[in-house]
Amino acid sequence: MTMGLGAVRFSVLDDSTGRVLWQSGVVDGGDPAVPVRVGLAGVSAIRLVATPENGFLATDVADWADARFSCG
């Protein structure tokens, strides 16, 4: 996570239905990146979400940096 601040959960959602396709455990500031593997068959659009765990959005800094998609 960026800058070692806060704690969040990362989620991948099917943007059409809102269905959660994948969700991390709590990731604290300073933790290493969390690998994500999600089957996307039948999904036309996704939403990448970072949800604050402590309720104080100002101290929860997270990103999906270097996210990439691959087929196969």
Measured from the Cβ of residue 1, the count of other Cβ atoms closer than 10 Å reads 22
- Residues 43 and 59: their CA atoms lie apart, in Å, by 33
Write the pLDDT tens digit of every residue in 3-13.
Answer: 666 889 999 99
- Residues 30 and 24: their CA atoms lie apart, in Å, by 15
pLDDT, position 7: 87
pLDDT, position 33: 86
Segments in the chain below pLDDT 50: 1
**Residue found under tokens 């969390």:** 34
Q: Do 2 and 31 form a contact (C-beta atoms < 8 A)?
A: no
- Residues 13 and 29: their CA atoms lie apart, in Å, by 23
- Residue 9's identity, in one-letter code, is R
